[in-house]
Structure 1
Amino acid sequence: MRLLRRPAFGLLGQVVAILLITLLIEFGASTILYERASGFAVRDDEANRLAEHLVISRRLLAERPPQGRSTMAAELTTDRYALTWSPTPHPTPRIAPALDEMQRQVLEWEPSLQNANLQLRLLSPGRRSVVTGGMQLADGSWVYFRTLAPIGGISFAAERIALALIPAIALMVLAGVALRRSFRPLRMLAAAADRVGHGAVEPVEVDGPGEVRRVISAFNDMQERIRALIAGRTQALAAVGHDLRTPLARLHLRTEALPRDDTREAILHDVAEMEAMITSLLAFLGGAEPEAPSMVDLAVLCETVIDDAADRGADAVYEGPDHLELRVRRLSIKRAMTNLVENALHYGNSVTLTLAREGTGVVIRVVDDGPGIPEDKLREVLEPFVRLDPARGRDTVGFGLGLSIVAKAVADEGGTLTLSNRAEGGLEACISLPDTQRHSDTQ
């Protein structure tokens, strides 16, 4: 039984996610840096304008007599800057941080303000940030000013970030389409690898990047070697089976001519046992061409197996519908059910075969009244060449491949075989087969 866990993301999804995260980080960082640079540019322009306004205002106020300077300061007030004149200094607000960098820019732009005792502060009334400050005139009086509009800063406007991300998203869509096309050979390779051992060999088209093409070529070569190996083994098994059956048939005919005594019966029993061993070995190793699935009436097939056992005098009963069709390998499933019924009759006195639909599949149960199997041996008994004769109480014929053949036939159909001991005694063999045709029709 294979335990497979589907990955959260495929290779294409992981590559697209990595590219998307990288582009998001790049465009987001670029947008922030652009906005930050714009903010610094606005501050530099604000410092230049403020320097020009202060130089002009200081010169004009210095030319006026003290009694007319308040009026002149009001006239110098614009829609960007408000000015007031005071003969004495006003206390500087301590909570307002100093704008040392902006003050340096103003003094570099207008060196004549070096001796004006210029002071700049940042005030934030409410959510607005304005520049306020003062400078001293030659007679010791002061000119105070403030910006009327908020100063420029860093803008994290969602619109700008969205506009910056639109090209990234478009590129990601194009990249996803291109990557999907590039990964198509890998998907074909995975599908072909999953088909290995379940049908005819189908070479994969060599396509894609150089590394992928080499992998596909190596896979095609490996697939062909496996096919040749299986074909050679199948041919060898068929030849061995034929060569062994020929002398056995001659031995059987010669034994029939012997007088009827214990020696003759012992020889016939040994010949029958050897034929059974060859048949079971070829069935397990696949000594014939692989059988193709087809629509089979399982109910009729089950009744046929039970009728054959009942004709031999066995206590065999079938319980189930009159008809139930399923796409399976007919000979393989019939051999599996025959092995289970024969196994049940070999170790018990009666057998009951039931057939029913359960959920999205079909369940076949073969129940006997024999001694059962020890709990710690239920899984081991499904292995090839394992015989538990002491536990079952009788000698068996063959290599111990009966249940292994059943497990292989069920696995080829995508089903499961489960063995369990019944509380009232005996063994229950349960075959669960998926009904893929019915499931697809209901989708």
Structure 2
Amino acid sequence: MRFRSLPLFWQTLILLIAGLMTAQLVSVLLIIYLPAPRPDFYTMTEIAERLAFDPGADSALVVRHSADEPAPDNGMISDPSITARLAYQLARPIGQVRIFFLADQAEVFPFSRTSGAGAVPIRHGQPYFFNTVLAGVRDPGGGWNILRTPPPSWISVWQQRTMIWFGLTALAMIPFAWMFARRLTRPIRRLAEAVERIDHDRDAPPVPAEGPAELQLTAKALNAMHGRLRTNMRERAAMIGAIAHDLRTPLARIAFRIEAAPEKIRGPVQADIEQMREMVAATIGFLRGDVGMGERQPVDLAALARRLAGEATDTGSSVAISEIERIIVSGDRSALERLLQNLIDNALKYAGSAELIVCRDIDRARLIVVDRGPGIPEEELDRMFEPFERHEPSRSRSTGGLGLGLAIARLIAQAHGGSIRAENRDGGGLAVTVDLPAAA
């Protein structure tokens, strides 16, 4: 079984183990190939040599001349045995030597130590000073040569080494984390995109079963659900087709028998029969999802808007283009034409005129149909896209259609991966906006 098809549990466990092993390997290599850090300390010999102006002494230890005897800072202490050791190395009387230091507080030093609060680590008679030291020796002229060791740094060598280890270990872990995140999120993103296509297009291809085992099971379950939904849709369409076929027969018999009726009765009844036939045909077309999603191809929305506006103007309708920008979308040309035509017809029906706007919003194509009609109450804007919903309450064919125009427009927009919404305009009127993905 390939790694990418393993369950998430095993992928995560393998990543953690690989990361832990990599971190340990980096630490071991650093320990082996890097020299051990030298602690920051000064020995009694280094201090004595520098006070005696030995050229070989550490240049970091600076000796200055002063007429005053060295005075300790707060916290510095002195120990007679340490002073005697310094006087011995300088070959000077103990009264001409001064040494003060900050007591060492380390409890885990492997050397022997003197007793008392001012203890410093001592090995083979050599004191080691890890904190600040102030030492002085009287010169023949009566003044003092004074030496002060530099204060310890805020970040010691071993702390710097530790931070380097942590940094290199984190850098070594980044490729593993990136690879794991990419392998995990890529199939999830593809799954989400495939589910989105299924939501908009009932004929979308199956969801690819790839990635971890859990995502494969999810994809298989979604494909099974999609198959059942398509089967139910086909069965519903077949049932509606049969009902429609059965309705046409009694309508035809009624129309035939009414021929012998007086004109006063025959005319209204025939009009009702014709309206019933149109309602049945429109309802069947909508319930079958017959919104025309054929082969996708590049469609120029600006050219489509210009053509429909020109055709409407040729027939005496008031349709104008107030703003237009050339934008290409990928979709079914006839379905997009039906969408725009439905919006134009709706505006002409309720407002008598329409204005078209085609513009781009980052990676989205925006198509807007506006009018100066009576508008719609805010609480009813979303309901206008539901089937058989009409703002005009009567069902008369002379005052409007069946309320399917905007519902079909929404189906077409969703089938193209877009959305549609309606808003009231300032000063009166309605603006219906369609957002579609713009082609690259």
TM interval, shorter chain, is 0.5 to 0.7
Does residue 363 in structure 1 map to residue 354 in structure 2? no
The 5 A counterparts of 1:19-418 are 42=39, 83-89=89-95, 96-99=101-104, 106-107=111-112, 122=129, 129=132, 154-155=156-157, 161-162=163-164, 165-166=167-168, 168-199=170-201, 200-255=203-258, 257-258=259-260, 261-288=263-290, 290-292=292-294, 293-294=296-297, 295=299, 298=304, 299-304=306-311, 310=315, 316-320=317-321, 327-340=330-343, 342-344=345-347, 346-347=349-350, 351-359=352-360, 361=365, 363-365=367-369, 367=371, 371-389=374-392, 400-413=403-416, 414-418=418-422
Tell me the distance in 1 between the aligned counterparts of 2:99 and 2:187: 72
Shift of 1:261: 1.9
Q: 2:319·2:353 contact (CA, 8 Å) conserved in 1?
A: yes
Give the structure with the larger helix fraction. Answer: 1
Q: Percent identity?
A: 26
Query: Tell me, what secondary structure is at the counterpart of 1:196?
Result: helix
The residue type paired with residue 408 of structure 1 is L
**Matched residue type, 2:215:** V
Note if contact 1:237-1:287 (Cα within 8 Å) is conserved in structure 2: no
Inter-CA distance 268–345: structure 2 relative to 1 (3 Å threshold): farther
**Residue segments in structure 2 that go unaligned for 5+ positions in a row:** 1-7, 59-84, 115-124, 138-146
Q: Given residue 358 of structure 1, which amino acid in structure 2 is its aligned partner?
A: C
Residue 319 of structure 2 aligns with an amino acid whose one-letter code is Y
With normalisation by structure 1, the TM-score equals 0.59
Higher relative contact order, structure no. (Cα contacts within 8 Å, ≥ 6 residues apart): 2
Distance in 2 separating the partners of 1:303 and 1:246: 41
Cα drift, residue 155 of structure 1: 0.3
Residue matched to 2:61:
none
CA displacement, residues 192-224 of structure 1 (integer Å, 9 cap, x when unaligned): 112113333423443333333322332332232
Q: Normalising to structure 2: TM-score of the pair?
A: 0.59
C-alpha change, 1:262 and 1:404, in structure 2 (3 Å) is farther
**Deviation of the 1:391 alpha carbon:** 9.8
The amino acid across from 1:186 in the alignment is I
TM-aligned CA distance change 1:254 to 1:271, over 3 Å: same
For the aligned residue pairs, the C-alpha RMSD in angstroms reads 5.6
Would you say how many aligned residue pairs link Structure 1 and Structure 2?
A: 359
Query: CA-to-partner distance for each residue in 1:22-69, whole Å, 9 max, x for gaps?
Result: 98xx79xx79x98xx956x858xx89x97xx8xxxxxxxxxxxxxxxx
- After TM superposition, give the deviation of residue 306 of structure 1 in Å: 6.0
